[in-house]
Chain A
Amino acid sequence: MAALFTLAVLSFLYKDNPIFRLAESLFAGVSLGYFVGITLDQTLKPNLFEPLRTNFNLHWDLVIAGLLGAFLYMRYVPRIGWIARYGLTTYVAYYIGVEFTRKVHGEVLPQMARTILPVRGFDFSGFEAFFASPGMLALCAIVGTYSVLIYFFFSREHNAVTRPIARLGVWFLMVSFGAAFGFTVMGRVALLIGRLNFLIYDWLYPIFGL
């Protein structure tokens, strides 16, 4: 069955066809049903229903969480859809608050700290040694990071000083995006390799007794 679904989806490469669309629709439905199963069994049951059932005295306040979650579904009731805003603001604002601390503490500060490096220790013994020397690595890190940040500063128009630095930042970005493209090719192709490996080794070979 898995092999037939695989072939049905791959048939899209030749032409859009009803078999592919059937497989696609089935996938959409099964994915949504999957959400229902994992959420009920893995989150709501152990974290809400069971604590309320087994120890209500300790966990009575989880009813509030349940209500806030249920409020989200009020958007589907025509006249009281606005009640969903209570669940939605709680959900969005909480995760944005956590993002705030996570971004500043976990991204901005460590990445900025990484650029506070002494630019010393150049090794001129050879081409490879020079580019791998601590001084060169530090210089590239500082120049690259700050030129990219200057490029992204759009609040003011670039002038004669910042324009060339921003251009250098663009070059660093192009190297990064080119490398990212190379990795993206690897990533996408890996998925295809996985599927074809399944079709060949787990489906075709057993059919032929290999």
Chain B
Amino acid sequence: MSIVDRLLAIDRRWIFLFVLMAVTIPILLPLGLPVTTTGSTRAAFEYIESLKPGDIVWLSFDYGPSSAPENDPMAEGFLRHCFKKDLRVVVCALYPLGGLSLANSSVAIVAKEFPNKKYGTDYVNLGYKDGAEAVMRRLGENIADAFPTDVHGTPISELPLFEPETVPVERRTIDRVQVKAPGSEVRMGIRTIGQFKVVFTAATGLIGEYWITLVNAQFGTPIIIGPTAVSAPKYYAFINSGQLKGMLGGMKGAAEYEQLLGRKYPELSKFYMETRLFTGTKGMDAQAGIHAVIVLFIFLGNVAFLLARGRERKG
């Protein structure tokens, strides 16, 4: 059997072994390779930087554990950025297969780093809701219709972040039939998604697209998306059509955002260098290694293929 034939018939478990080594070695021996930033990530970062303290933003966990290594660093980076800027954050999860647990974990992790932030006033976790598009349609008119309570079961009208106020209600009649009794009711100052400065959706799959094509299109709320790398290519079309304010594409996008955070906020740079949590930057060395291996495999595969084809033509 010639080398070409042996190469073409190689047992795939050898390929698996090379992949495993290409990922494991950079994790054991971090190289600290540089991370360059791209326009879409810089645009997202600068948009958040342009917001003022007290502005309110929405963070949606639209991914599950299957893409957590990519999306967790993005969502946590965004949350840290918002807390540094003293923005108010509303968190929710619309992805059924694990979004809620990831939202709970990430919020708990970042909240511990910012002990001055108070739940209910500075940030709120609304939990998970079924029916993504129906939920988004309701957010456009009345958030409480979709999320009557937060993740703990507290009515959102009791959360200071939504600026509730008790207002008197007058009797209302139609054709002398009373349809509304006099009394008082709680009205919320923050009532619709249109009042939010931005929605950041860390997404896998279609839910991220729904925020862009439904919430941005119908209610005008700016959107920043943190998709997995698998779905990132299609969002370039939405960036160019002006439907997105920015994008963090995959783990590289998360690493870029961490770089930008580190440059702007030295204490976050120190945090990212010292933390044992998994971050996007930590994964980039292994990404470079595996890309090198896969490019090598593609090259070898094509060389073997061309040599085999040349041999067939000769013979």
- Same complex origin of A and B: yes
Interface residues of A (CB under 8 A from B): 13-14, 31, 34-35, 38-39, 42-43, 45-47, 50-51, 94-95, 98-99, 101-103, 105-107, 110-111, 113-114, 141, 176, 179-180, 183-198, 200-201
A110 in contact with B242 (CB, 8 Å): yes
* Contact partner, B128, options A42, A94, A111, Cβ 8 Å: A42
Contact A180 B233 (CB under 8 A): yes
Selected from B16, B134, B146, B252, the residue in CB contact (under 8 A) with A186 is B252
Residues on the A chain within 8 Å of B149, using CB: 46, 50
A13 in contact with B16 given A98-B134, A197-B282 (CB within 8 Å): yes
Are B241 and A102 touching (Cβ within 8 A)?
no
Chain A residues with Cβ under 8 A from B128's Cβ?
Answer: 38, 42-43
B217 touches A193 (CB 8 A): no
Distance in angstroms between the alpha carbons of A35 and B99 in the assembled complex: 11
Instruction: Check A98–B233 contact: CB distance below 8 A.
Output: no
Chain B nearest Cβ from A133, distance in angstroms: 15
Contact: B27 with A200, CB < 8 Å?
Answer: yes
- In B225-245, the 8 Å CB interface with A consists of 228-230, 232-233, 237-238, 240-243
Q: Is B241 touching A42 in the complex (CB atoms < 8 A)?
A: no
Interface: B164 (CB within 8 A): no
Q: How many residues in B have their beta carbons less than 8 Å from beta carbons of A?
A: 62
Query: Which residues from chain B sit less than 8 Å from chain A, CB to CB?
Result: 13, 16, 19-20, 23-24, 27-28, 66-70, 96-98, 100, 127-131, 133-134, 137, 146-149, 151, 153, 210, 212-214, 216-218, 228-230, 232-233, 237-238, 240-243, 249-252, 276, 278, 282-283, 286-287, 290-291, 294
Which residues of chain A come closer than 8 Å to B230, judged between CB atoms? 180, 183-184, 187-188
B127 surroundings in chain A (CB, below 8 A): 42
Residues of chain A contacted by B229 (CB below 8 angstroms):
183-184, 186-187, 190
Quote the shortest CB–CB distance from A113 to chain B (angstroms).
7
Q: How far is the CA of A184 from the CA of B287 in the complex (A)?
A: 12
Among residues of B, the one whose C-beta sits closest to the C-beta of A185 is B294
Q: Which residues of A are found within 8 Å of B214, using beta-carbon distances? A: 98, 102, 106
Residue pair B148, A190 in contact (C-beta under 8 Å): no
